[in-house]
Structure 1
Amino acid sequence: MTQQESGGNYGALGIWLNMPYGRDRAYGRYQVMGANVGPWTAKYFGKRLTPQQFVANRAAQDAVARGHLSMLVKKHGYRGAASAWYSGNASLHNSTKPQPGGPSIKDYVDSVMARAGTYKGGGGASEGATYGSTATATPRLDDDELAAQYGLSAGLINSSSELKSLFKQAVAGSWSAAKFQAQLKNTKWWATQSDTLRKYITLKYTDPATWTQNRKEAAAKLNALAVQVGLGNQLRTNGTPTKMLDSAIYYSLALGWSDQRIKDWLGTRVQVHDGYMWGEAGQAWDKLHELAYLNGVKVSNQWYENNVRAVVSGKTTLQTLEDYIRKTAAGQYSAYADQIKAGMNVMDLASPYIKATAQILELAESDVDLFNPHVAKAMTAKPGLDQPKGSGAQMPLWQFETELRNDPLWRKTNNARESMMSVARQVAKDFGMAF
């Protein structure tokens, strides 16, 4: 908090004034009228103080100024809040009538706005801090309090030069929260980040306690997944999260990765152990593993290690390796070669078969991928003798579903039992044994 005329003096006392409710004076760094000290300290400090106790308690003075100013800003906006603090009436911010012992309300408010977010001491009978005091003070909302009016925080705003510039404009122009949010959505910062990432970053700065709790819960879940895929407790070293766990948490919370995708990502690290790669090498490593998985291509860990090193050393490019994976996938899934070369992933092309397998065999869809034998067979079907060479041979879905029902697993499903019961009832009915 800053002051205008009390010089930061928490022990400042204003002159005695004849107020409508009786004789009174202002107290403390922010020059709060004596009549307001009791109710305001009870409300914002949690303990009702006398004016003498208030003057001696810096924390109480700061709490009152911070709490009451925040309320005024939310209720009246910046100009109205400045007017209410000075005169007790938010609607008088354009009044040019001289005030006892101080400037007109308009001059006072204009001066406050020129100082970008400050609220100068003064105050009337009900709202103000002083009224005609010779020791008027200037409480100022700090950056966090000002930022909170726009649903953000000083930490988040200061993390981006673009947000910082926008925030300064908003404070100087007394923008409403709605206007600030509208302008925020026009920024490059907003446009270049996903909704999930924006929420993650915003929560980090505006509600760090919840952000931290979310990370703790994610860490516990990810540790369980790591054990499941064979990583053991490699996500922690002596109880301390490793870079791998931090990355997994970030992918899960900030990028919105599903548990299955996280599991796949963690699974690629089971064999490499201490050979886990970081920085640019780690980014290339992750991208190649993901692209290969989504396109049903299997290559050795040694291939990954050798080629990632080649990328970071400038001997090849990531694009060259991605083209190699797609070319390999196009060869494996010839019926879809054109789509794969055009940039579609085989996992997306196989979606109808994956969904059918999960539904008919009663499996979790996340447990069915391109390496499922039924899906693999359907996706790699060869053209018939009567088909032109290179035309591909996408297996009809009805044929695929028929073959699924020949799988021994199907007989153990509820679908199979219901189907067989239905057939049995029909047979019995045909023989006149059931109606």
Structure 2
Amino acid sequence: MASGESIVELARKYMGTKYVWGGAAPGGFDCSGLVQYVFGKNGVNLPRVTYDQINVGESVQPNKLRPGDLVFFDTDRKRSGPDHVGIYMGGGKFIHAPRPGAGVKVSSLSEGYYMDRWMGGRRVPGVSASAAAGDGEALEVAPKLDANELAETYGMSYSFFKSQPELWKMLNGAVEGQWTPEKFQAEIKNSNWWKKNGSTARKAQMMAKTDPATYKATMEAARVSAQQMAVKAGAVLSQKNADTLAKNMVTFGWNEAQVGNFLGQYIKFAENKTLGGIAGMAAKEIRKTANDLGVAVTDQSILNNAQYLVRGLTSMEKIQGSLRQQAAGLYPAFAEQIGAGAGMQDLAAPYVQVLASELGLPETDIDVFSPKIKAAINRMGPDGKPAPLSLTEFTQMVRDDPAWRKTPAAANQAMAIGRQVLAGMGLVK
């Protein structure tokens, strides 16, 4: 019969031995390799891998563990089942080969990481512990812990518990009642603090108390990131707003959509009515689309749409679609063409050319917004339906305007008519 204490004592001799995947000798161990080697040296043969070792012997509850028992954990959440094993030492501790880069070491079953991943304990046949308590075997429980120790074993600092009245009361109750790690964990997860705060918020609050230096550095990095995202979006953030955004990013783990929704509130015009970043590009596209469609848009409308775009409440496709609907309502005679993707500036181009030619104006000075153009393309017929002027009718309408008579075109036409009359009279050839 092998002694559990002798198994533990031998395992201690390999403290610090490097982790080697598949290692089962003093030159390097993996978790199950250490177990197999140490037990083998004590005359107890075990299977090689964790998945087989957990089938050896009988199950043991955490508060019934004794030196030489095996403890199993599920550390790889991608696969179900045990993938890590250690040797219980007594006093709530176990010795194991944890992972690459970390040598053989002693850990506590009370650590939050191992409590969360606990799978079970096994008592190996042929292994005994010291006789005690009159029953032939020592059945150990975790040692009595004070408040500081209990807080630290759960991965939280004593100061953090003191900052949370609900958890502080719970910690004192756990010390007084010497709760098992499982009960302590269950009570924390049932607290209002746990339920009201997501995983990211809990970690941030704990970091602020347990590792203030890291928390400060994390917050500073978040502030820099917040300002960079603000510039990209075109938002103008005060230092206070930047701090608020950084805190939300760290505390709540805000994603890109949540950050955008926050930044959209701070999209503002510069003095020259321009916007920067994504908002500025959106504003330019909105203005261009509106102009192409012959729709007048206000600065406030452009600002509102740019804000909604950054906040993720709309898209450029939706904005352009809305402008196209407005254009169809403004120019009912061309609604079908507008719906098919045409722009009113293009549709009105023939009228622009006539007006420019007749009045001797540059075409760049005339567009669909010009009163004469708008009147011609939006004329209604006797039946009340849209009936745009033909180009011939439009030309005559322009010439009927008193302003036309003062143009070179009018003078040339008068000269041509006069020449025709004189030619008819035989006075000129």
Under TM normalisation by the shorter chain, which class is it?
A: 0.3 to 0.5
Greater Rg over alpha carbons, structure: 2
Question: TM-score with structure 2 length normalisation?
Answer: 0.35
TM-score, scaled relative to structure 1: 0.35
Going by fraction, where is strand more abundant, 1 or 2?
Answer: 2
